[in-house]
Structure 1
Amino acid sequence: MKGSIKALTLVELLVTLSVVGILMTSATSFGSYIENTKARSDIKQLRRVLSYARNIATLEKQNIVLCPLDTNGSCQRAWNQELTLFSDTNRDQKLDPLEEVHTRIKPLPATIASRNFQRSALIYFPTGFSTTGTLSYCASTTPPISYAFILSRVGRIRPGEDNNNNHIAENASNQDIPCPK
């Protein structure tokens, strides 16, 4: 058969379009799954670092600080930047050359998630006590994932709740944590 034309039948075309549609839907769902998994992983990492900080403070009998550092090594309030956990032997909330860095937490791109704390440093004291406040985490997922680490004076951490069911965790005063819209 010279000059025969090969083409798709209507059934083959419909099957192909159906498969492409299913793959497109799965890809969107998979992307959301990846974002949700990353957010949950970030939350677990913060929880581990906070527990680790309290343990180090009580074992080493010194102040342990978690904070974002500026270019001079001083604590600042930019909580989306890299966080550093260090022994603050002279209690100045500044990382000095002889002070030990225990761990670092990678910075968060503002388009993906945000962290917030009302002070420039979260401090655990040798007694295990800590500065009070709410360390918040908000992921820009659909629906949004938010988490509040409420720190008591005695250094205990409890999760914030979502009493008004708006997908935003609340602080100790039952107010929504600050999450960008």
Structure 2
Amino acid sequence: MKFSSRDRGITLVEMLVVLVIVAIVAMQVTPSFTRLLSTSDRHSEISDLITLINVARNTAIYEQTTVTLCPVDADSRCSRDWKLPLVAFRDPQRTKTVAMPSQIIWQRQINRIGTIRGATGIHTYFQFNSSGLAYGAIGNITWCPDNGDATLAAQIRINMGGRPTLAKDRDGDDIVEDSGGRPVACS
């Protein structure tokens, strides 16, 4: 069988047309893909935080003790600095201090993606008593992405029953509202 010179490959024009089509598709897909990754990061971080809260609460109930959840500083004390590792630990004397490693139930290392901040009123911690109720400290934990996009922010509220709930977007502006009905801010 004999091949002519036209049957041996593609022309430069055909290759350029294919490259232009690929470039156009890539430009359309990149923003969607970036948003998908950001949304995935958000879900992962929020899931980790809710798991930490639930483990702390369930341990308090199961072991019939007080469990404290807070960021812990170098002196093993609860801190207001939410950039520190979050630790859930057995705290039967309510000292808000990790005296021994055996007290630690779960530790969440420093945030890898985004930032978190806790609002615990005058306290630096969340505590759960033996019935699972929030012991004198209710509030919320807000997660914001690194880029500060408030449409990706999330807020977990801890009620008096000790249960975590996610804040919702009630006004349709794609930003969840805090307990006062104001949009959550990522500053």
Q: Following superposition of structure 1 onto structure 2, how do residues 4-19 of structure 1 map, counting pairs within 5 Å?
A: 9-19=12-22
Please point out which of 67, 75, 78 is paired with 1:75: 78
Deviation at 1:146, TM superposition (A): 2.1
For the Cα contact (< 8 Å) 1:62–1:89, is it kept in 2?
A: yes
Deviation at 1:154, TM superposition (A): 2.2
**Given residue 164 of structure 2, which amino acid in structure 1 is its aligned partner?**
I
Please point out which of 147, 150, 154 is paired with 2:157: 150
Deviation at 1:12, TM superposition (A): 2.1
Deviation at 1:54, TM superposition (A): 1.1
Deviation at 1:143, TM superposition (A): 6.9
Deviation at 1:44, TM superposition (A): 1.4
Matched, 1:36 2:39: yes
For the Cα contact (< 8 Å) 2:61–2:132, is it kept in 1?
A: yes
Unaligned runs of 5+ in 2: 1-9
Q: Helix, strand or coil for the counterpart of 2:153?
A: strand
Please point out which of 136, 139, 142 is paired with 1:133: 139
For residues 61 and 174 of structure 1, do their structure 2 counterparts lie closer, same or farther at Cα, with a shift above 3 Å needed? same
- Partner Cα separation in structure 1 for residue 105 and residue 99 of structure 2: 13
Matched, 1:176 2:179: no
Matched, 1:89 2:96: no
For residues 118 and 142 of structure 1, do their structure 2 counterparts lie closer, same or farther at Cα, with a shift above 3 Å needed? closer
For the Cα contact (< 8 Å) 1:149–1:160, is it kept in 2?
A: yes
**Given residue 186 of structure 2, which amino acid in structure 1 is its aligned partner?**
C
**CA offset digits 1:48-73 (Å, max 9, x no partner):** 22122111111111111111111101
For the Cα contact (< 8 Å) 1:89–1:99, is it kept in 2?
A: no
TM-score when normalising by structure 1: 0.81
For residues 117 and 57 of structure 1, do their structure 2 counterparts lie closer, same or farther at Cα, with a shift above 3 Å needed? same
Higher helix proportion: 2
Matched, 1:55 2:62: no
Question: More displaced, 139-148 or 88-97?
Answer: 139-148
- Partner Cα separation in structure 2 for residue 171 and residue 99 of structure 1: 36
Unaligned runs of 5+ in 1: 1-6
- Partner Cα separation in structure 1 for residue 75 and residue 69 of structure 2: 16
CA RMSD, Structure 1 to Structure 2 (Å): 2.5
Percentage identity across aligned positions? 20
Deviation at 1:10, TM superposition (A): 2.5
Please point out which of 117, 124, 127 is paired with 1:123: 127
Identify the residue that residue 114 of structure 1 maps to in structure 2: 115
For residues 161 and 32 of structure 1, do their structure 2 counterparts lie closer, same or farther at Cα, with a shift above 3 Å needed? closer
**Given residue 47 of structure 1, which amino acid in structure 2 is its aligned partner?**
I
Instruction: Count the aligned residue pairs.
Output: 173
Deviation at 1:11, TM superposition (A): 3.1
